[in-house]
Amino acid sequence: MKIVAANTDLCVNHSEAYSKVKGAYSLWFAAYDNLTRDDFLKRLVVLPETGDRAREVVRFLIHNPERWK
């Protein structure tokens, strides 16, 4: 996986996964109290149902939190 400078540089598959991850956060945020982005990403990355691309995006966001826009 190659993710460079801006969100627009994500390939189609990974931008799709990125949108899904962000969509999932909105749902989780509504469902759990005080869920931080960090908690969310760490939970998501270990879920068996998280797809490979989503997991790559999640790992990327854990290491580059400033890229969450």
**C-beta closer to Zn ion: residue 15 or 28:** 15
Interface residue with Zn ion, options 5, 7, 8, 14 (CB under 5 A): 14
Interface residue with Zn ion, options 9, 11, 19, 39 (CB under 5 A): 11
Q: Which of residues 16-55 bind Zn ion (CB under 5 A)?
A: none
Site membership for Zn ion, residue 57 (CB under 5 A) = no
SS in 3 state form for 2-65? CCCCCHHHCCHHHHHHHHHHHHHHHHHHHHCCCCCHHHHHHHHHHCCCCCHHHHHHHHHHHHCH
Site membership for Zn ion, residue 60 (CB under 5 A) = no
